[in-house]
Structure 1
Amino acid sequence: MSDPYLLAASLLTTNPIAAPPPPTLPLNLLDNLSALFVSTVARTLQSGVTQQTIPIVETSSPEFSVSPNRVQAATLTTHSQTFAKPQSPVLSPTSGTQLYYQRVAALKAGKIYTRLSSDSFQSSWAKSSKALTKPTHEQWKYLLAQEAKAMAKGQGTNRLSILVGDSLTLWFPSQGLSNNQFWLNQGISGENSTQILNRLSAFSQTRPNTIYLMAGTNDLRQGVSDRVILDNTRQILRRLRQTHPQAQVIVQSILPMRLGAIPTERIRNLNQQIALIAQQEGAGYLNLHSLFVDDEGQLRRDLTTDGIHLASSGYDVWQQGLQYAEFVIAAN
């Protein structure tokens, strides 16, 4: 991909997106997700963490919290956020290579990838992956940076949310995102928290209202220590808060897995520490772990394809978590 692709930025709409009528928040959604929200993590937990050690912090499982300076004693109300339930398309990319070429085609056409149907630009990618040159990690980074530059120029007065993470984020179906704002997907397959930290500048010129971070899954698979994961998480949150002071930054919990080599207790402890770091850094925390875990502390079989990655049903659950977070943010 070459620099002329930046010309696509001029094609992005700068007019406000018409918001649909406010939906009614389903009662069953409140029943299932109300536990995700608490105002803050108990401040007494802070005494349990030092710069030298990472103790197991026993908590009442803090769930979703907006940053302290934005928390109000508000009643959740409905608003103009509308999330479409992800649908199974007739044809959509099934490999990272196909997805890459679809997104390249969208950018060249001046389109926002996250606002297109998943079967768009078939002539660019609907062929065997063997017939397409597999993109390198650097090419993925370049593509995402160009998408971010185009968004920065074409956002106008529209709201923007950014998803940051690895392959779990990369494959979040666009049909599951609210359609009355822009979304920028900054997920790259295989990345660990260090790699995510090192590419935050790619979207530094955007003006997001909300940034959702998920990091740590690949660190665990690659044998990275808890200390590195937590230090990187803190640095990512701190940098996002500094670069985007107007945005609500939300770190999402590490999802459970079905890998014997990674103890379920380790993931639980990491998430407790991440929740505390989020509070200390003025960020929000969204506990998706509790929605995905089974009675044995592992990723529910019905939500995964291989014990790590998510099936469409898994993304449906994640979508509900984001939907609830968006409702809470709008109510504060």
Structure 2
Amino acid sequence: MEKDIETIKKIIREDYDRKVKKFSDLNEFNKVIIIGDSMVAYLNLNKFGLAKEVINQGIAGDTTIGVIKRLDLAIRLKPSKVILSIGSNDIVLTDLTLQETVENIIKIKEEIEAKSNSKVYVMNLTPVLRDHEITNMDYVSSRTNDDIKKINKELKKQIVKEQYINIYDELIDKDGSLNLKYTTDGIHLNPEGYEIYLNFIHQIMKQ
């Protein structure tokens, strides 16, 4: 598993650099920007008819540390709204404590709002499905729903209700895991899972 994680980290670093360069070339202002990890990166805006209204700044494998480093790429575009979906990878790809991940998410939110006058909506962390035949443990790794719920609980305490987006509860099954019908590998969403994700985005855009 350690070797697998190191391989994944190398791929992530290379993709991060490519995406940062791509985001640096953007010149579309006053749009909704979605910032995050693979949950955002794999969101096909064209498929859902949102490409003209929304900018996707997702990078697969990204962490709160990576987002902090690239925040200016979003702030300079003076977005009308920002949707933030980040934090799960911190559990497996960084040495941050759960509380430090929460603090970073709040820091990201506050910095964007202070520098761009944009309202930032924070999606809580999505659940995982462990111990199933479809589960890819290279991706799920050591993250657990217990840790994810601890982060979400703290975020809920610190973010006003209208800006805290509780997608977690919409994706779980009766056992509290990511519902099998919404996932491809125990962590990433399939088209049906993204329908739920998109419903929240549409709600935010109407506000």
Correspondence for 1:293: 172
Summarize the Cα distance change of 1:188–1:195 in structure 2 as closer, same or farther, 3 Å threshold. same
Determine whether 1:241 maps to 2:113. yes
**Unaligned ranges ≥5, structure 2:** 1-13, 132-141
- TM-score, scaled relative to structure 2: 0.80
Structure-to-structure mapping, 1:62-141, within 5 angstroms: 136-141=15-20
Offset at 1:171?
A: 1.0
Q: Report SS of the residue matched to 1:291.
A: helix
Summarize the Cα distance change of 1:244–1:314 in structure 2 as closer, same or farther, 3 Å threshold. same
Correspondence for 2:5: none
Correspondence for 1:305: 184
Q: CA RMSD in A?
A: 2.2
Q: Report SS of the residue matched to 2:192.
A: helix
2:28 aligned residue (151, 159, 164): 151
Determine whether 1:270 maps to 2:151. yes
Contact (CA 8 Å) 1:170, 1:185: kept in 2 or not? yes
Summarize the Cα distance change of 1:313–1:143 in structure 2 as closer, same or farther, 3 Å threshold. same
Q: Distance in 2 between matches of 1:316 and 1:326?
A: 15
Determine whether 1:220 maps to 2:91. yes
Q: Distance in 2 between matches of 1:311 and 1:163?
A: 19
Contact (CA 8 Å) 1:249, 1:283: kept in 2 or not? no
Summarize the Cα distance change of 1:219–1:177 in structure 2 as closer, same or farther, 3 Å threshold. farther
User: For residues 112-143 of structure 1, what are the alpha-carbon distances to aligned partners after superposition, in whole Å with 9 as ceiling and x for unaligned?
Assistant: xxxxxxxxxxxxxxxxxxxxxxx543122111
Q: Distance in 1 between matches of 2:194 and 2:105?
A: 23
Correspondence for 1:205: 76
Summarize the Cα distance change of 1:307–1:199 in structure 2 as closer, same or farther, 3 Å threshold. same
Structure whose alpha-carbon radius of gyration is higher: 1
Contact (CA 8 Å) 1:237, 1:283: kept in 2 or not? no
Q: Report SS of the residue matched to 1:217.
A: coil
Query: Is the helix fraction higher in 1 or 2?
Result: 2
User: For residues 14-35 of structure 1, what are the alpha-carbon distances to aligned partners after superposition, in whole Å with 9 as ceiling and x for unaligned?
Assistant: xxxxxxxxxxxxxxxxxxxxxx
1:259 aligned residue (119, 123, 130): 130
Q: Distance in 2 between matches of 1:177 and 1:162?
A: 15
Offset at 1:295?
A: 1.2
Correspondence for 2:55: 184
Offset at 1:178?
A: 4.1
Determine whether 1:229 maps to 2:128. no
Q: Distance in 2 between matches of 1:141 and 1:212?
A: 18
Q: Distance in 2 between matches of 1:182 and 1:311?
A: 23
Q: Distance in 2 between matches of 1:278 and 1:142?
A: 31
Contact (CA 8 Å) 1:176, 1:316: kept in 2 or not? no
Correspondence for 2:37: 166
Q: Distance in 2 between matches of 1:191 and 1:168?
A: 10
Q: Report SS of the residue matched to 1:151.
A: coil
**Unaligned ranges ≥5, structure 1:** 1-134, 153-158
Q: Report SS of the residue matched to 1:274.
A: helix
Q: Distance in 1 between matches of 2:176 and 2:129?
A: 9
Identity, in percent, stands at 20
